[in-house]
């Protein structure tokens, strides 16, 4: 059996009586950037929550680096080297930028220290004493990514990083994701904007109503105009 970094097999997850995920299987190999696409409510966030131990799947398995971590509490999953940039950039609003980074450090060691993050993102350094609740949306997204970086994860789960951000900031965010990948971090990326994600992804999965309905090489999916139109909410997409 080939050993993926992350291997999700036939996950079924419920919220109360609602059966949300139906036999969801996916994998991320070492060094890969994998996009998880789908319309609103398809189950992308629930898939991430099931991997992270935030929502316990009813059946199925999650393996990370060959170890069965199904149902592990999230603090143990994160200690293994799984980072998370949540949708909506949740953080500690009353803490300053520096304090948010300090509590995100895990002591696992690795290339990303707070100083290095500040060198890479000088804007954050300028804002280091500001409470994060007073940052703009773009600045909060940068801080959210910076928080995940200082934990030096092996695998990073990133949920809709472009949401509500101006195009220039989205570009900056995607540049950082590409850099992380170039430095060997594996990434599972949830994104509403399919075309954006497919430009950086190696492979992609598409979810619909809690099921994986497509999986393949990102460049192939990018050429599938019908699928892209559906994913982008039936907007016209230039061919
Ligand atoms: P979005 O882009 O809107 O975040 P998504 O693909 O990430 O969509 P999920 O957030 O995983 O989708 O939601 C999947 C389904 O689960 C939706 O039908 C949603 O209404 C439902 N759902 C999400 N969270 C809960 C919850 N806490 N309790 C009950 N149902 C929920």
Residue 91 covered by a domain: no
- The per-residue pLDDT of the chain, averaged, comes to 90
Residue 171 covered by a domain: no
In this structure, which residue's CA is closest to atom 11 in ligand 1? 43
Q: How many domains, in total, are found in the chain?
A: 1
Reference 48, options 89, 88, 91, 87; nearest CA is 87
Range name among 42-51, 146-155, 160-169, 209-218 with the lowest pLDDT average: 160-169
Predicted model pTM: 0.90
Query: pLDDT at position 169, please?
Result: 86
The parent domain of residue 42 ranges over 1-81+155-161+185-239
Q: The domain spanning residue 229 has which CATH number?
A: 3.40.50.300
Residue 236 has pLDDT above 90, yes or no: no
Calculate how far, in angstroms, residue 92's C-alpha sits from the geometric centre of ligand 1.
Answer: 23
Residue 70 has pLDDT above 60, yes or no: yes
**Test site for ligand 1: of 17, 18, 159, most ligand atoms within 8 A of the Cβ:** 18
Residue 22 covered by a domain: yes
Q: How far apart are CA 168 and CA 31, in angstroms?
A: 26
The whole-number average pLDDT for the span 52-62 is 95
Which ligand 1 atom is nearest residue 192's CA?
Answer: 2
Query: pLDDT at position 156, please?
Result: 95
Residue 99 covered by a domain: no
Q: Pick the residue with more confidence: 234 or 7? A: 7
Residue 1 has pLDDT above 70, yes or no: no
CB 109 within 8 A of CB 150: no
CB 202 within 8 A of CB 218: yes
Q: Pick the residue with more confidence: 106 or 64? A: 64
Residue 1 covered by a domain: yes
Highest mean pLDDT among 37-51, 91-105, 167-181: 37-51
Query: pLDDT at position 234, please?
Result: 53
Cα angle 140, 130, 119; round to 5: 70
In this structure, which residue's CA is closest to atom 3 in ligand 1? 40
15 lines ligand 1 (CB under 6 A): yes
Residue 149 covered by a domain: no
Residue 157 has pLDDT above 90, yes or no: yes
48 lines ligand 1 (CB under 6 A): no
Residue 50 covered by a domain: yes
pLDDT tens track for 118-154: 998 899 999 999 998 899 888 898 898 899 889 899 9
Reference 55, options 44, 69, 71; nearest CA is 71
DSSP state of 134: G
């Amino acid at each position: 059996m080939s050993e993926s970094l992350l291997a999700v097999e036939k996950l079924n997850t419920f919220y109360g009586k609602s059966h949300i995920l139906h036999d969801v299987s996916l994998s991320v190999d070492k060094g890969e950037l994998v996009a998880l696409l789908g319309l609103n409510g398809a189950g992308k966030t629930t898939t991430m929550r099931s991997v992270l131990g935030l929502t316990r799947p009813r059946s199925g398995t999650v393996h990370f680096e060959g170890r069965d971590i199904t149902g592990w509490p999230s603090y143990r999953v994160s200690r293994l080297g799984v980072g998370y940039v949540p949708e909506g950039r949740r953080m500690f609003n009353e803490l300053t930028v520096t304090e948010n980074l300090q509590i995100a450090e895990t002591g696992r060691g690795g290339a990303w220290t707070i100083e290095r993050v500040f060198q890479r993102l000088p804007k954050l350094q300028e804002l280091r004493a500001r409470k994060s609740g007073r940052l703009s949306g773009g600045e909060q997204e940068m801080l959210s990514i910076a928080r995940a970086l200082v934990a030096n994860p092996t695998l990073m789960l990133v949920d809709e990083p472009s949401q509500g951000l101006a195009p220039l900031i989205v570009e900056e965010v995607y540049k950082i994701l590409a850099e992380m990948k170039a430095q060997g971090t594996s990434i599972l990326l949830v994104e509403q904007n399919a075309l954006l994600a497919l430009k950086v992804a190696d492979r992609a999965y598409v979810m619909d109503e809690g099921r994986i309905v497509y999986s393949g090489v990102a460049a192939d999916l990018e050429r599938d105009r019908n699928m892209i139109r559906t994913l982008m909410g039936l907007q016209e997409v230039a061919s």
